[in-house]
Amino acid sequence: MNATGTTSAAVLEELRRRTADRRRILFTGATIVTMDPGIGVIARGDLLVEGDTIAAVGPGLGAGDAVVVDATGTILAPGFVDTHRHAWEAQLRRIMPDVDDLGGYVRSTLAGYATVYRPGDMYTGTRLAALTAIDSGITTMLDFSHNSRTREHTDAAIEALRDTGIRGVHASMGPHFGDWDRQWPGDLRRVQDQYFNSTDQLLTLRLATLATDEIAGPALAYGPEPARFARDLGVGVSVDAVFGTSSSEAVLRWAEDGALSPDVTLIHATGLTPEAWKAMGETGTTVALAPTSDAQIGLETAIPAVDEALSVGIRPGLSIDVEVALASDMFTQMRALHAIQRMRAVNAAHGTDRQPSRITTHDVLDFATLQGARTNGLSTVAGSLTPGKKADLLVIQAEDLNNMPLNDPIGTIVLGSDTRNISAVLINGEPRKWNGHVLDVDLATLRNEVHASREYVLNTPATQPPMLRRSAL
């Protein structure tokens, strides 16, 4: 593996000669950060993958007929889990890096660019986002696909996830503005039959909605009827734009109506009242934080609500949100949250005799892995290197220039590492990145597709002028 291991082309070739169901891979000599509370960190150990599953973790495992990967000098860790990203926007990355507020994003992207997207643009943006996720160690991504203008737009987003090999969660929602076929949410029955007819596959389905009707009207807002529809389909619900007084009032209504549960994820959750948080905690509702989005765009209080979540027993997942203004990787989310929370804790105790209540690097890695999987409804599948779970894992170079020497493996992942240190990514036991390169991608062709899509979107007039109520901004 670069300087110290053997994720070489020859090893990859040997792996791919074997059919996936008969493939056995033994990683040896690694520091293993399992994120399984019962196993913890193994200072030097082995990990065996059989087919798509983690078969064993521990020191001195027998190789048998496994392909042996020398992982000396590396950290093995579970893949990161992104609980909320609007993947279709990826060809517009950093087009508005200094966006001032939510209104600026809504006007430019949702009421503007989104309205001219073709199914092919949905495919290109979603595929680019998913491949970038894999490159940066995100093995599971919830795509909050809120530009489903037609059946073809929805299909294109799902097919893009499928074609990258990521563990994808397609959370489908109709668009905020512009012309669309009004096929959502009813079309999800067809989508489920066509794409999600197996319980043992990489892709899963959720219903996506908004918290209130302030931005896009009542048709897209969560409530008893969408909750019943999701239960009938047997899928979870991801609710975006949960912040402020109106969302707090909505949360209390949902609790009263029985529309909150562990199958429901509330995204952002900034500026909510203590009463709303109490209801969320009592119902086991999950939360997806977007640390850089809240802070950089300035959503409600602009403070990621990690303390509020922890105070009611909710351990949140983490997410990327919108690449039009934000970073694409989980390392940034972990570091931002770690720094912001610890700053707040020390500031609150400054000048008093109270001890600051600070989160740790283990906490944020837990949020980015195990809790993210739970938030996405995949806790039995992903999020930790636990025997019996699917083999979604990272090989991180611990002896690269920016990481050596390895002293604390969790600190090294959270505070030292970045995309360049991830030498290999396995999803469902399948190598998706190897020797530092994402596999099965023609970058020149992808680049041409991305540029062509971007030029079309930027140079095609929006289908209607943005008509936004002041209360939405």
Nearest to 370 by CA among 24, 6, 133, 37: 37
Local structure of 78: helix, strand or coil: strand
Could you tell me if 427 and 139 are in contact, meaning their C-beta atoms sit under 8 angstroms apart?
yes
Element (DSSP H or E) covering residue 375: helix 370-375
Local structure of 96: helix, strand or coil: coil
Rounded Cα–Cα distance for residues 29 and 73 (Å): 8
Handedness of CA 239, 141, 263, 265 (dihedral sign): negative
Rounded Cα–Cα distance for residues 247 and 269 (Å): 8
Rounded Cα–Cα distance for residues 297 and 318 (Å): 16
Q: What is the largest CA-CA distance in the chain?
A: 66
Read off the amino acid at residue 118. Answer: R
Rounded Cα–Cα distance for residues 372 and 376 (Å): 6
Could you tell me if 330 and 80 are in contact, meaning their C-beta atoms sit under 8 angstroms apart?
yes
Q: Which two tokens stand for residue 153?
A: 């737009």
Using a 10 angstrom Cβ sphere, with 0-12 exposed, 13-18 middle and 19 or more buried, the burial of residue 181 is middle
Q: What string of pLDDT tens digits covers the 473 residues of the chain?
A: 433 445 678 899 999 899 888 899 999 999 999 999 999 999 999 999 999 999 999 999 998 999 999 999 999 999 999 999 999 999 999 999 999 889 899 999 999 999 999 999 999 999 999 999 999 999 999 999 999 999 999 999 999 999 999 999 999 999 999 999 999 999 999 999 999 988 889 999 999 999 999 877 899 999 999 999 999 999 999 999 999 999 999 999 999 999 999 999 999 999 999 999 999 999 999 999 999 999 999 999 999 999 999 999 999 999 999 999 999 999 999 999 999 999 999 999 999 999 999 999 999 999 999 999 999 999 999 999 999 999 999 999 999 999 999 999 999 999 999 999 999 999 999 999 999 999 999 999 999 999 999 999 999 998 654 444 433 43
Element (DSSP H or E) covering residue 228: helix 224-233
Rounded Cα–Cα distance for residues 12 and 99 (Å): 43
Say how many CA atoms lie within 13 Å of 12 toward its Cβ.
20
DSSP state of 279: H
pTM of the model: 0.95
Nearest to 220 by CA among 268, 172, 257: 172
Rounded Cα–Cα distance for residues 78 and 413 (Å): 11
Could you tell me if 73 and 299 are in contact, meaning their C-beta atoms sit under 8 angstroms apart?
no
Domains of the chain: 9-78+383-438 (2.30.40.10), 80-375 (3.20.20.140)
Read off the amino acid at residue 182. Answer: R
Identify any residues that bridge with 140 across adjacent strands, giving them in sequence order.
81, 167
